[in-house]
Amino acid sequence: MRAAGVRAAGVRAATVRGAVVAKRSGSSYPFSVTGLAPRHNYTFRDYLELEAVSRVRHEFYAGEIYAMAGGTPEHAAVAAAITAMLHGQLRGSPCRVYSSDLRVRILATGLATYPDVTVVCGPSERDPESHSHVTNPRVVVEILSPSTEEYDRGEKLEHYRQTQSLDTIVLVEHGERRVDVWSRRASEWEVAVYRAGETLRLDSIRCALSVDEVYAAADGA
């Protein structure tokens, strides 16, 4: 989830080798970058230098660096549960599941980010500018929050849909038991919505997840 990347009232700023990254105090609302005039012109190398020393994760897009807000215990529990479920089902296959520690770069748009859960099939392909960034995810999962839902369902979803290797995008709702699964069909994308009591299928990796089991992980977190 992304926090604010523009300077405003109540902003805390961290400076790393001349780069100022803004984070709005008390909020993690993700400002859209497409509707604002650029305020900085950081390079991807600037971003990599910041990530190497920062305790906070960031996204990079179009010359801007955005601090990512930390998740809640419920968010972390759901992400861990999905990772564990997929790990068990993918054992012995050419696919591997990764936690939110994995750095992903969308080469078509330049976005660098950390999906909550990522599946890569076959050897990982790396960004020419950063060996630590994978560029060929097969499946990504984002667990939504009130402050990031608009960004995750809008701008970030569009970034993901331009990833050539990506077949499936999973969006896990925060306010109800609902999971949206976007699947690539030829050159088009289709969405299926799964709710309590249903089982969602990730056909591209031959996996299935119970909606109730996914959300049960957050109980008591």
Domain boundaries, the chain: 11-67, 73-216
| R_g over Cα of the chain | 17
Q: Is pLDDT of 179 > 60?
A: yes
Query: Cβ atoms within 10 A of the Cβ of 146, count?
Result: 11
d(CA 94, CA 186): 22
Q: Who wins on pLDDT, 7 or 181?
A: 181
Tell me the per-residue pLDDT of 48-62, one tens digit each, with 9 for 90 and over: 999 999 999 999 999
**pLDDT-wise least confident of 1-5, 27-31, 68-72, 201-205:** 27-31
DSSP one-letter code for 2: B
d(CA 156, CA 175): 20
Q: Counting Cβ atoms within 10 Å, is residue 206 exposed (0-12), middle (13-18) or buried (19+)?
A: exposed
d(CA 180, CA 182): 6
Q: What is the mean pLDDT of residues 166-181?
A: 96
**Mapping DSSP to helix (H, G, I), strand (E, B) and coil, where does residue 68 land?**
strand
For residue 117, report the phi and psi dihedrals to the nearest 5 degrees: -140, 140
Q: What is the mean pLDDT of residues 7-32?
A: 37
Q: Is pLDDT of 86 > 50?
A: yes
Give domain 73-216's CATH superfamily: tt1808, chain A (3.90.1570.10)
**Which tokens hold the place of 162?**
């331009």
Q: Is pLDDT of 108 > 50?
A: yes
